[in-house]
Amino acid sequence: MTLMSLSSTPSHTLKPYETHREVEIERVRMLFLGAHQPFKRESSQAKVSLFGSEVLVRMTLASVCGSDLHTYEGRRSSYLPSVLGHEGVGVVEAVGPEGDESMVGKRVTWTLTDTCGCCSACTDWDIPQKCESLFKYGHAELEGGSGLNGCFASHIVLREGTKIVELPEKLPDSYAVPANCALATMVAVVEEIPASVEKVLIQGGGLLGIYGVALLKARGVNQVVVTDPVPERLELAKEFGAEVLDANEMSGLEPQIFDAIIEVAGVSSVVPDGLRVLRPGGVYVFAGMVHEQTELDVLGVDIVKGCFKIIGVHNYGARHLEKAVQFLSEHQNDFPYDKLVSPALPLSKLDDAFALTLERKWHRVAVQPD
């Protein structure tokens, strides 16, 4: 099928409206109350006000991302209480008075951020994820806007500057649920890798690394090597087409053998080894070091004399989500996506989902409304 972009032209989310549409729903929210605290299930009849072209989506599946886990463990600040979760898919139930009625009934995913569409980051710099008025789903005040701001709920309200993408009919929810975070981010990362490269090293065998392998192999890159200290992750990386190496054996590699390196390990200790095996003029993309404990122990002279190109990538723009869904549509049967996301737990068992995530048996643990 042809993929459709369903979002309206972005406009500032604070635009005033004289009219709105009210929709009555049975609202269920799993409230995050603090680090390591049990989630609180809140259920009530609620009237949701949709302004402009806002969209009400009934959640069908969500998954626990690493950043959700960081919040749960107290390593990432959050509003209290709040509704976590930004990876999700759902069905459009209603649109605001200025919305497109043809969207109702569509199965969709959406960007994890809402942007204004008019600041320099959105228009000139091509990094809308750094919008001056950025809003992040799953990382907002409970009563900010609709109060349905995260995916660990029965519904979510998508703001006007959110890109909404229809999902192909035959694409399972479980394949699509991480698309608006991990996969779209890796689309943005791989976009920074020159088309001419033949050898790429990926540092980190988590979901970002796995998607990186799939994207690069589908693009025709000759050799993709994944390093990670966890044997089970390396085994799965092989199933996606990678060569693998225990991260503790990096010192055994010859120097200057890779055209490009992608860091998605989330730890800065991998960088010195990466610089050693990167050829002169090579590209090094940092995408995993998203927390404060990431000081680098490297010499500037090594970067300068190596003529290395160092690029940081954080999140993604709307086009990357569109490309992510297109990639899944075109390569649905080419990779074992069924091994990435767990069977769904009931949303009411969100505590169990986080406990299972901590066991690290799955790259993503899924929950669905019950």
Report DSSP letters for 47-76, one per residue.
Answer: EEEEETT-EEEEEEEEEE-HHHHHHHTTSS
DSSP codes of every residue in 278-292: EEEEEEEEE-S--SS
126 three-class SS? coil
Give me the DSSP letters along 218-281: HHT-SEEEEEES-HHHHHHHHHTT-EEEEGGGGGGSPSS-EEEEEE-SS-GGGHHHHHHHEEEE
Closest CA to 185 of 84, 363, 314: 314
Contact 369, 345 (CB under 8 A): no
DSSP-assigned beta bridge partners for residue 27: 44
Going by their DSSP bridges, the two strands 87-95 and 107-110 should be labelled as: antiparallel
The owner of tokens 């989500």 is 321
pLDDT in tens, 175-207: 999 999 999 999 999 999 999 999 999 999 999
**Per-residue pLDDT in tens (0 to 9) along the chain, 370 residues:** 344 444 444 444 445 555 889 999 999 999 999 999 999 999 999 999 999 999 999 999 999 998 899 899 887 778 899 999 999 999 999 999 999 999 999 999 999 999 999 999 999 999 999 999 999 999 988 876 668 999 999 999 999 999 999 999 999 999 999 999 999 999 999 999 999 999 999 999 999 999 999 999 999 999 999 999 999 999 999 999 999 999 999 989 999 999 999 999 999 999 999 999 999 999 999 999 988 788 898 999 999 999 999 999 999 999 999 999 999 999 999 999 999 999 999 999 999 999 999 999 999 999 999 9
Tokens of 135: 């809003």
Percent of the chain having pLDDT more than 90? 87
Residue that the structure tokens 């690493």 belong to: 66
31: which 2 tokens? 């409230």
Domains of the chain: 20-182+316-368 (3.90.180.10), 193-312 (3.40.50.720)
The answer to whether the Cα torsion of 217, 219, 225, 230 is positive or negative is negative
pTM to 2 decimals? 0.92
Q: Is the dihedral of CA 107, 113, 119, 122 positive or negative?
A: negative
Packing angle, helices 184-191 and 318-330, rounded to 10: 100
